[in-house]
Structure 1
Amino acid sequence: MCCSGFLKIMMFIFNGAIFLAGVAILAVGVWVKVDSGSLLGVLDNIKDVPAELGQLANVAYLLMGVGGVLLIMGFLGCCGAMKESRCMLMLFFIIILIIFIAEVAGCVVVLVFQPLAKEVLEDLSEKVVDSIQRDYGKDESLTSLWNGTMEQFKCCGYRNYTDFDGSPFQEKPTNPTYPPTCCIKTETCTAAAAERSNVNGCFTMLLNLIEDNAVIIGAVGLGIAALEIAAMVVSMVLYQQIGNK
Structure 2
Amino acid sequence: MAERHIPYYSLKKLFSFFNGVTVLSGMILIGLSIYVNFRGAVLTKVLGRSSAYLFHVGYLCLVMGSVTVLLGFARWHGAAKESRGTLLFCFLVMVIILIVQITAATVVLAFFPVVREVALEHNFVTLRKNYRGYKEPDDYSMRWNLVMEKLKCCGVKNYTDFSGSSFERVTGHTYPRCCCKSPGTVDCDGHNVSADVIHQEGCFPKLLKITKTQSANLSGGCLGTAVMQLPGILATLLLFIKLG
| TM superposition score category, shorter chain reference | 0.7 to 0.9
Taking structure 1 as reference, are residues 59 and 155 closer, same or farther at Cα in structure 2, changes over 3 Å only? farther
In the alignment, what sits opposite 1:88?
A: 86
- State TM-score, norm by structure 2: 0.76
Higher-Rg member (1/2): 2
**What's the offset of the Cα at 1:88?**
1.4
Taking structure 1 as reference, are residues 13 and 156 closer, same or farther at Cα in structure 2, changes over 3 Å only? farther
Q: Which moved more, 1:212-221 or 1:95-104?
A: 212-221
Q: How many residues align?
A: 235
Answer whether contact 1:26 1:63 (CA < 8 A) is retained: yes
The gaps in structure 2 that reach 5 residues or longer are none
In the alignment, what sits opposite 1:74?
A: 72
Answer whether contact 1:155 1:181 (CA < 8 A) is retained: yes
Taking structure 1 as reference, are residues 14 and 129 closer, same or farther at Cα in structure 2, changes over 3 Å only? same
Bigger relative contact order (CA 8 A; separation at least 6): 2
**What's the offset of the Cα at 1:97?**
0.8
Residue pairs, 1:102-141, within 5 angstroms: 102-133=100-131, 135-137=132-134, 138-141=136-139
Answer whether contact 1:37 1:146 (CA < 8 A) is retained: no
In the alignment, what sits opposite 2:194?
A: 193
Distance 1:205 1:17 in 2: 36
Give me the CA root mean square deviation.
Answer: 3.5
Answer whether contact 2:101 2:223 (CA < 8 A) is retained: no
Answer whether contact 1:182 1:194 (CA < 8 A) is retained: no
Q: Which moved more, 1:146-155 or 1:23-32?
A: 23-32
Describe the SS at the equivalent of 2:156. coil
Distance 1:53 1:96 in 2: 28
Structure ranking higher in helix proportion: 1
Answer whether contact 2:148 2:178 (CA < 8 A) is retained: no
Taking structure 1 as reference, are residues 84 and 191 closer, same or farther at Cα in structure 2, changes over 3 Å only? farther
**What's the offset of the Cα at 1:18?**
2.8
Distance 1:171 1:194 in 2: 24
Identity of aligned residues (%): 27
Taking structure 1 as reference, are residues 230 and 81 closer, same or farther at Cα in structure 2, changes over 3 Å only? same
Amino acid corresponding to residue 102 of structure 1 in structure 2 = V
Describe the SS at the equivalent of 1:62. helix
The gaps in structure 1 that reach 5 residues or longer are none
Distance 2:213 2:37 in 1: 19
In the alignment, what sits opposite 1:25?
A: 29
From 38, 47, 57, the equivalent of 2:42 is 38
In the alignment, what sits opposite 1:227?
A: 228
Q: Which moved more, 1:175-184 or 1:139-148?
A: 175-184
Answer whether contact 2:181 2:198 (CA < 8 A) is retained: yes
Distance 1:153 1:63 in 2: 27
Q: How big is each residue's C-alpha offset from its partner over 1:64-98, in whole Å with a ceiling of 9 and x where there is no partner?
A: 22222222232222222233221111111101111
Answer whether contact 1:40 1:56 (CA < 8 A) is retained: no
Distance 1:86 1:80 in 2: 7
In the alignment, what sits opposite 1:65?
A: 63
Taking structure 1 as reference, are residues 130 and 180 closer, same or farther at Cα in structure 2, changes over 3 Å only? closer
Amino acid corresponding to residue 42 of structure 2 in structure 1 = S
Q: Which moved more, 1:223-232 or 1:150-159?
A: 150-159
Taking structure 1 as reference, are residues 167 and 191 closer, same or farther at Cα in structure 2, changes over 3 Å only? farther
Moved over 6 A (4+): none
Answer whether contact 1:182 1:199 (CA < 8 A) is retained: no
